[in-house]
Chain A
Amino acid sequence: MIEVRDLVYEYPTKRALNGVSLTIQPGTITALVGPNGAGKTTLMRCLAALEMPYSGQVLIHGLDTRESPREIHENLSFLPDFFGLYDSLTVRRCLTFAARAHGLTGSAVETAVEKAAARVGLTDRMKQKAAELSRGLRQRLAIGQAIVHEPKVIMLDEPASGLDPDARRSLSALFLELKASGLTLIVSSHILSELEDYSDQMIIIQNGLMVGGQAVALSENRISYLVELAAPDAGFAAYLERLPGVTQATLNGATAQVWLDSPERRAGVIRAIVSDGYPLTGFAETRRTLEQTYLEETGKAAR
């Protein structure tokens, strides 16, 4: 678990983080978003124990970044936006060094290297030097280095920049696979659609503060249904909210939007609407995009 308490980070003429507090549960993927200069990278660097805050506390699995930075690094990885590789080393040696630098020894190193290479699709390029790789492959190698020691927490700053659509899709799949194996991921990106596929929650940083004071859960309420009638009916939303499985309903003209506690409820809801005599003309699934959520949350904060 990651716990941040009243984190303040200052530059000489700007307070980059102004009392950020948050908790991130293990086994989740958190999207870290916000405008340029909002403090995302500073927050990530503080979480990674690369920068010491002015005040406040960061606990990674119970270890304080001030007191145990090197111990934290055994179980944490951070891939910065602008990363470097040892160009004269082969892919195998890059991964081997990363594994050993994070405390792996003996036969565990070789196993970890093979596994990481397979996960990022570099098994057939182990003898190639890092300098000879394309930008996308270098990005994959960097991600391979970040995951080779199977950390409990991985933080990635703009991980998909420079990747082609196929590689981005595989990256999303990799993140979900890592999450399934119990890892905690924090991913920062400007491209919200990229975060859409795998994020469980979103933290919006603006002017050094966390918008709304807490993370926005994305798994809940993301999918809803549009129910269209032939003619408007003012009491339709109230009717829908009385149906079993409906958690919320809103009405806009002849169209209602309903949220269900489970997708399996759809058939029952349609059956009830028809059998109660409403002139149903359409029923469609709709997804609230991350961008919509982001705009709603930042809009609320502005108000």
Chain B
Amino acid sequence: MNPELLRNIWIELTERRLTLMVIIVACILVVAISPGDWMSAAHTAELVFYAVVVLWGTRCAAQSVVEEIGNKTWDGQRLSAIRPWTMVWGKLVGSTILAWIGGLLCLVVILYQAYRIGGVDNLAMQAGYFLAIGIISQAAALLASVVAVRRRMSHTRFDVFLYQLAGLIAALMVWRVWQTVDPTSLFRSFTGGVDPFTVSTVWWWGGSFDPGTFYLASLAVFLFWVILGNYRVMRRELQVQNGPAVWLVFLVFVAAYAGGFDFWRDYIRDGAFMTGMRAVQGGIALIFVTYVMALVEPKEIVAYRWLIERFKARQFISLLARFPAWGYAYLAVVVLGVLAIVMLPWSVAERANVYGGPMIVLAALGFVLRDCAVFMAMGLGQVGKRSDIAALAILALLYGFIPGMFSQVEGATAFFYPSEHDPSWLNPLAAWAQALIGWYLILRRPDLRRRPQS
């Protein structure tokens, strides 16, 4: 048996805890079932499932590594021969095992009701959804905590809550999307059966898909990526080197997934224009990935000094092997940005109902690079949350407060975010000038340019 799983079982599944969990959940379910209204009982079971598996399970997952750091046992784990994958699933299943036992009791009621109203097909769909939301939320919380561990942050209870929040946000997204396709959903039970976001068909890469099947398939793929993400971060934490190949495949997946949605199929007929819009969609998704990684990746002076040295020594293979994930994500944004610039029509008239064109894309590339400079300037050499908060505050100023102050000045917003202006070159020029100045100042930092003495 996986030693990490076994250790977690020893700690988590004590007789007392197990008995308490079973009694409490069983009592709630019995009370819910007793009036004989199975729909209402299933909704109660669903709520208990979310409370136990999602709310408490994410807390357990977020704590699993952090608690070991607090108890000074994590170095022992890092010194063990447990392989990264074994560690990931040992922690993911082991730390949440008690929550899952409570959740499985709820699933009995939920799936019985699903079978009653929709047969085996509905039962399988519901089982897939509930397992997915549980595992995705817990895996996201674990991922957030291990990423934070790599940054060597101190871990207060509030920090653990933030890691848990990552799991809860993932769960909320999964839940909300699922509510749109589930006719018996909890959401509809509160809105009288109406869900404004319900779609009858999902259009993706020119094909039409049943929403339920599409969302379940998407969930399965995202589940795969979040588990793989855990594995990759755990590898780094256990000192096993990661090459960039998997990350690059993930970036291609994100671009292809986001770019595949045919939002414009009723407006755009031209193939090149459509390709340009797909590149924009994929690029926007990758910009989100770039920001997330620029925020959460460790920004260690020594690591960046090492990269600069490799660059100067023209050791590009070594450089690319340890190139930061946000850097690769930005390069992917640039590739899609260039594709969009080439494919999108330059004339406003040709763009019909679509806002923005090549110059806005060019400006967006500059602003994203500028924002990465903000993350770096604030985060380099810092280990706490303050640097993240400072970076986010600066971005809030740049995108909200300052443009608001100059809202009456014509053309002023060109200096702050991608927008259409006359002359059209003003916006990209302002963006790239800020980006280049920002990066020039960062690369001039003495602690990046000079190695310390002993």
Residues of A within 8 A of B (CB): 10-18, 39, 48-50, 52, 54, 65-67, 69-71, 73-74, 76-78, 80, 82-89, 93, 97-98, 100-103, 145, 207-209
Which residues of B from 70 to 101 have beta carbons under 8 Å from A?
71-84
User: Which A residue sits closest to B380, measured CB to CB?
Assistant: A12
> B429-454: contact bitstring with A at CB < 8 Å (1 yes, 0 no)?
00000000000000000010001111
Q: Which of B81, B300, B381, B452 contacts A101 (CB 8 A)?
A: B81
Which residues of B from 1 to 26 have beta carbons under 8 Å from A?
3-4, 6-7, 10-11
Asked if B306 contacts A54 (CB within 8 A), the reply is yes
Q: Which of B11, B76, B302, B447 contacts A88 (CB 8 A)?
A: B11
Asked if A89 contacts B302 (CB within 8 A), the reply is no
Identify 30 residue pairs between A and B in the complex whose beta-carbon atoms are under 8 Å apart, listed by A's number.
A12-B452, A13-B452, A14-B452, A15-B453, A15-B454, A17-B454, A18-B453, A54-B302, A69-B238, A69-B240, A70-B82, A70-B83, A70-B84, A70-B238, A70-B240, A71-B81, A73-B81, A80-B72, A82-B72, A83-B73, A83-B76, A84-B68, A84-B74, A85-B71, A89-B7, A97-B3, A100-B3, A100-B6, A101-B77, A102-B80
Choose among B76, B78, B238 the residue with the greatest number of A CB atoms under 10 Å from its CB. Answer: B76
Distance between A220 CB and nearest chain B CB, rounded to angstroms: 30
Distance between A100 CB and nearest chain B CB, rounded to angstroms: 4
Given A10-B302, A52-B239, A69-B238, verify A87-B454 contact (CB < 8 Å): no
Residues of B within 8 A of A (CB): 3-4, 6-7, 10-11, 68, 71-84, 238-241, 300-302, 305-306, 381, 447, 451-454
Choose among A54, A76, A100, A101 the residue with the greatest number of B CB atoms under 10 Å from its CB. Answer: A101
Known: A83-B75, A103-B81. 12 other contacts (CB 8 A): A12-B300, A12-B452, A13-B447, A15-B451, A18-B453, A18-B454, A50-B75, A73-B79, A84-B72, A84-B76, A100-B3, A101-B82
Q: Which of A16, A50, A65, A98 contacts B78 (CB 8 A)?
A: A50
Asked if A12 contacts B3 (CB within 8 A), the reply is no
Given A12-B301, A86-B7, A102-B81, verify A80-B75 contact (CB < 8 Å): yes
Choose among B74, B80, B306, B454 the residue with the greatest number of A CB atoms under 10 Å from its CB. Answer: B454
A-B CB proximity, top 7 nearest? A84-B72, A208-B454, A100-B3, A101-B80, A84-B73, A12-B301, A15-B454
Given A11-B302, A14-B454, A73-B79, verify A86-B11 contact (CB < 8 Å): yes
By a CB distance below 8 angstroms, the chain A residues around B241 are 66-67
User: Which B residue sits closest to A207, measured CB to CB?
Assistant: B454
By a CB distance below 8 angstroms, the chain A residues around B80 are 73, 98, 101-102
Q: Could you tell me the distance between the alpha carbons of A93 and B238 in the complex, rounded to whole angstroms?
A: 23
Asked if B452 contacts A84 (CB within 8 A), the reply is no
Distance between B231 CB and nearest chain A CB, rounded to angstroms: 13
User: Which A residue sits closest to B84, measured CB to CB?
Assistant: A70
Q: Could you tell me the distance between the alpha carbons of A67 and B7 in the complex, rounded to whole angstroms?
A: 28
Q: Could you tell me the distance between the alpha carbons of A103 and B4 in the complex, rounded to whole angstroms?
A: 12
Q: Could you tell me the distance between the alpha carbons of A78 and B72 in the complex, rounded to whole angstroms?
A: 13
Distance between B175 CB and nearest chain A CB, rounded to angstroms: 34
Q: Could you tell me the distance between the alpha carbons of A208 and B306 in the complex, rounded to whole angstroms?
A: 19
By a CB distance below 8 angstroms, the chain B residues around A67 are 241
Distance between A261 CB and nearest chain B CB, rounded to angstroms: 39
Distance between B452 CB and nearest chain A CB, rounded to angstroms: 5
User: Which A residue sits closest to B73, measured CB to CB?
Assistant: A84
By a CB distance below 8 angstroms, the chain A residues around B84 are 70
